[in-house]
Amino acid sequence: MVFSHQINMRSFKLRSRQGGSVIISILLLLLLDVNAEAAGDGNRLESANPNPRGSNKDAPNIVLILSDDAGYGDFGFQGSSQIRTPNLDNLAVQSTVFTQAYVSAAVCGPSRAGILTGKYQQRFGFEENNVPGYMSDSGLTGDDMGLPLNQRTIGDYLTHFGYSTALIGKWHQGNADKFHPTKRGFEHFYGFRGGARSYFEFGPNNPVSYPEDRLERGFAHYKESPHYLTQALADEAIKFIKQNQREPFFLFLSFNAVHTPMDANKEDLAQFPQLSGKRQRVAAMTLSMDREIGKVLASLDELGLSENTLLVFTNDNGGPSDTNASDNTPLSGTKANHLEGGIRVPFLMRWPAGNIGPNTYHEPISTLDLLPTFFAAAGGKKSAVADLDGTNLLPYVRGEITIPPHQTLYWKKENRGAIRHGNWKLLRFPDRPAELYDLSQDISERHDLSATNPEIVKDLYRRLFTWELSLERPLWQLKREYEGAAMTRMDNFRQPILQDKH
């Protein structure tokens, strides 16, 4: 139990039978608030006892499927004519499709920190990717980098409600043991701690480069799978579903696909003879992921679980077109920048028993909304997640609330920043004037309206700066040279800008 009140340490003077005095310091704070460290920075659940396992049988199962570095336009349901995704296309027909879904960061690690906590990750200093060997010495490095231990995750919240929880796949929230998924709210873990790895089994002919790339079951039980990585992760997900079908479970299936390295099965490559190079490989890798997602969905159907399973599919950031040939059409930009192509993602939600089905939702949402949405579906009270930046999407999707879930969304990385307020979006850069776009008319961000709307530019600048004042300093930082590379990447993958001078 977590107590919201605090009691100061007190000293009591007691007289012994022999007349001597004893000073006893009683640490009531430690006794009564024993869970304070785990509770985080004020982010606490209700003081009621958590639900024991199996006592919440009517609650929905919750499945979050996350692809990695996929292009916004690289799915059939997103309009792709090159890449086939029949299983996800079928899921889209059964789901609410969100046309303006955003992540909280344009790169993997920070985006996932936002998903896991429901907070802008800059609030606790997780602004940059945590990649050993690429970091500046001005901040934390190596095993010190990871999701701060005082932050509560989706797994923590749902375990409180009697859920069995699993993280299968990519973690990327710290390589050290103290950051391990099994210590962050996930009872079951099968995957790898780092940010990317080979899709094929490590061995004499494919040596592992970094220890965090190894496949791991539970805590520190390392054993490679002979199967293609995407298949191995889906097989483990199906195993978890079958083992936990009689009680509510939360499955976070965090695929590595289609992140580099560009490893594809020969059989899948053969399905795209009209393509070549990286484009052929990303198509094959996407087809493989779609096939494995289809198997996971089929297992839910076969076990009679689909009706009362809240399922979400989305992606962690925009596609890095230069490294994996992903296609973010019709958006400008890529992974690692704040153009729409770096931060707008495909997003599907299905929960038949919860009246979430075939529909299209056009208002802006964020992956920060996943935690409060899942928490509400599990029976949690709004007051327990009031300090999060995300919001419960269920009443919005059902039409019970007709205003947008968010009036304003923010992004930041070093000196770069962005704000969306209503349909206006301001982009701030370190090497050029700010740009202003009306996303209701220009999702490709081609018509810069800053010159003719100086008051809007000023207002959005002020809002962005006010938000930044609420953030922590980054706990670690990439070397400065990578900021220049990020600007070059942005310029190479954007639509031509047309200045509005009238």
316-360 pLDDT per residue, tens: 999 999 999 999 999 999 999 999 999 999 999 999 999 999 999
Query: How much is the average pLDDT of 162-188?
Result: 98
**77 touches 290 (CB < 8 A):** no
- As a whole number of angstroms, the distance between CA 84 and CA 75 comes to 7
Closest CA to 104 of 288, 349, 344, 272: 344
Whether 268 maps to a domain, the answer reads yes
Neighbours of 155 (CB within 10 A): 22
Residues 378 and 421 in one domain: no
For residue 49, pLDDT over 50 is answered with no
**Residue (of 443, 467, 430) closest to 329 by Cα position:** 443
- What average pLDDT score do residues 115-123 get? 99
Checking if the pLDDT of 64 tops 70, the result is yes
Q: pLDDT digit string (tens) for 198-207?
A: 999 999 999 9
User: Beta partners for 136?
Assistant: none
Domain of 20 in residue numbering reads as 1-36
Please determine, for residue 44, whether its predicted confidence score (pLDDT) is greater than 70: no
Q: Say yes or no to pLDDT of 53 above 60.
A: yes
* Residue 137 located in a structural domain: yes
Of 340, 362, 397, the last residue of a domain is: 397
pLDDT band at residue 31 using 50, 70 and 90 as cut-offs: very low
**CB-CB contact of 135 with 156 (8 Å):** no
Is the pLDDT reported for residue 393 higher than 90? Answer: yes
* 402 located within any domain: no
| 53 inside domain | no
Backbone angles phi, psi at 499, to 5 degrees: -80, 130
3-state secondary structure of 418: strand
Closest alpha carbon to 121 in 141, 100, 145, 144: 145
pLDDT value at residue 21: 41
Q: If you average pLDDT over every residue of the chain, what do you get?
A: 91
Residue 501 binned pLDDT confidence (cut-offs 50, 70, 90): low
**390 inside domain:** yes
Based on the fold, state whether residues 412 and 314 are members of the same structural domain.
Answer: no
Q: Are residues 256 and 353 in the same domain?
A: yes
Sequence-distant (≥ 6) Cβ neighbours of residue 191 within 8 angstroms: 167, 168, 169, 170, 171, 181, 215, 216, 233, 254
Does 419 share its domain with 391?
Answer: no
What does the H/E/C string look like for 175-220? CCHHHCHHHCCCCEEEEECCCCCCCCCCECCECCCCHHHCCEECCC
Q: Say whether both 462 and 339 belong to one domain.
A: no
In DSSP terms, 427 is beta-bridged to 418, 435
State the burial class of residue 137 (Cβ atoms within 10 Å of its Cβ: 0-12, 13-18, 19+).
Answer: exposed
Kindly state whether residues 491 and 435 are assigned to the same domain.
yes
Q: How many domains does the chain have?
A: 3
Instruction: Give the separation between CA 418 and CA 473, rounded to whole angstroms.
Output: 17
Residue 196: what pLDDT? Answer: 97
Residues facing residue 499 across a β-bridge: 448
Say which range, 22-26, 166-170, 260-264, has the weakest mean pLDDT.
22-26
Can you spell out the DSSP letters for 345-371? E-EEEEBGGGTB-SEEE-S-EEGGGHH
| The last residue of a domain, from among 350, 377, 397 | 397
Question: Per residue in 222-279, pLDDT tens?
Answer: 999 999 999 999 999 999 999 999 999 999 999 999 999 999 999 999 999 999 999 9
3-state helix, strand, coil in the chain (%, to 5): 30, 20, 50
The answer to the question of residue 359 being in a domain is yes
Cα within 13 Å of Cα(89), Cβ side:
16
C-beta separation of 62 from 158 below 8 A:
yes
C-alpha distance across the termini of the chain, in Å? 62
pLDDT, residue 33, reads 39
pLDDT value of position 58: 87
Beta strand 96-98 with 347-350 is: antiparallel
Residue 44 lies in a domain: no
Provide the CA 426 distance to its chain's centre, in angstroms: 23
The pLDDT score that the predictor gives to residue 45 is: 55
Which residues neighbour 437 within 8 Å (Cβ) at sequence distance 6 or greater?
Answer: 424, 425, 427, 445, 447, 448, 449
Per DSSP, 295 falls in state H
Query: Do 415 and 373 share a structural domain?
Result: no
How far does CA 167 lie from the centroid of its chain?
A: 12
427 and 355, same structural domain? no
At 113, the amino acid letter reads A
pLDDT digits (tens, 9 = 90+) for 465-485: 999 999 999 999 999 999 999
- Tens digit of each residue's pLDDT (9 = 90 or more) over 421-461: 999 999 999 999 999 999 999 999 999 999 999 999 999 99
State the pLDDT at residue 56.
Answer: 73
CB atoms within 10 A of CB 35: 12
- Of 355, 375, 397, the residue that ends a domain is 397
Inter-residue contact 368 to 120 (CB < 8 Å): yes
| In a domain? residue 50 | no
Residues 15 and 71 in one domain: no
Specify whether the CB–CB gap between 501 and 450 falls below 8 A. Answer: no
| CATH number (domain holding residue 481) | 3.30.1120.10
Mapped onto helix, strand or coil, the DSSP state of residue 166 is: strand
Asked if 85 and 137 sit in the same domain, the reply is: yes
Are residues 447 and 376 part of one domain? Answer: no
Considering only CA atoms, which of 26, 27, 37, 28 is closest in space to residue 2?
37
Q: Are residues 25 and 170 in the same domain?
A: no
Does pLDDT of 7 surpass 90?
no
What string of DSSP letters covers 69-132?
S--TT-SGGGT-SSS--HHHHHHHHHSEEESSEE-S-SSHHHHHHHHHHSS-GGGGT--S---T
* Max Cα distance, the chain (Å): 95
CA distance 484 to 356: 43
For CA atoms 310, 363, 92, 72, the dihedral sign is negative
